[in-house]
Amino acid sequence: MSIKSEVSMLEEIISPITLREFKEKYWPLNPLVSPGNLERFKRINGFEKITSIEEALKIYSNPVMVVGDAVIEELEGISDRMLVPPSEALEWYEKGAALELDFTDLFIPQVRRWADKLKAELDLPLGTGAKAIVYAAKNGGGFKAHFDAYTNFIFQIKGKKTWKLQDNVNVNYPVQHYDLVEAPYLPEELDSYWDGLHPEEELPEADIVDLIPGTMLYLPRGIWHSTESNEETLALNITLGQPTWMDLFLSTLRQEMVKNEDFRKLAYNFNTVQDTDKEKMKKNLEKMIEQLGEIVNGLSSREVFHNQDKDFDPYQTTQLVFRQLLTDYKE
- Where do contacts with Fe ion occur on this chain (CB under 5 A)? 148
**Which residue in the shown chain puts its C-beta closest to Fe ion?**
148
Least separation in angstroms between CB 225 and Fe ion:
6
Least separation in angstroms between CB 217 and Fe ion:
11
Least separation in angstroms between CB 178 and Fe ion:
10
Pick 227 or 251: Cβ nearer Fe ion: 227
Pick 206 or 248: Cβ nearer Fe ion: 206
Least separation in angstroms between CB 57 and Fe ion:
23
The shares of helix, strand and coil residues in the chain, as percent rounded to the nearest 5, are: 40, 20, 40
Pick 224 or 251: Cβ nearer Fe ion: 224
Query: How many CA within 13 A on the CB side of residue 154?
Result: 30
Least separation in angstroms between CB 153 and Fe ion:
13
Cα–Cα dist 99/228, whole Å: 15
Least separation in angstroms between CB 299 and Fe ion:
35
Least separation in angstroms between CB 143 and Fe ion:
6
Pick 148 or 247: Cβ nearer Fe ion: 148
Contacts with 227 (C-beta within 8 Å, 6 or more apart), sequence order: 142, 143, 161, 162, 163, 164
Least separation in angstroms between CB 264 and Fe ion:
39
Pick 41 or 224: Cβ nearer Fe ion: 224
Pick 27 or 163: Cβ nearer Fe ion: 163
Q: What are phi and psi of 110, to 5 degrees?
A: -65, -40
Pick 100 or 148: Cβ nearer Fe ion: 148
Cα–Cα dist 113/264, whole Å: 39
Task: Find the distance separating the first CA and the last CA of the chain, reported in whole Å.
Answer: 33
Nearest C-alpha neighbor of 66 from the set 51, 45, 42, 88: 88
Pick 229 or 307: Cβ nearer Fe ion: 229
Cα–Cα dist 36/12, whole Å: 11
Strands of the sheet containing 224-228, edge to edge, are 178-179, 146-147, 224-228, 161-166, 207-211
Nearest C-alpha neighbor of 67 from the set 26, 101, 115: 101
CA angle 180, 182, 186 (to 5 degrees): 100
Pick 145 or 157: Cβ nearer Fe ion: 145
* 28 cis-preceded (ω within 30 degrees of 0): yes
Burial class (CB in 10 A: 0-12, 13-18, 19+), 240: buried
Contact (Cβ atoms closer than 8 angstroms) between residue 204 and residue 167: no
CA angle 205, 211, 215 (to 5 degrees): 125
Least separation in angstroms between CB 227 and Fe ion:
8
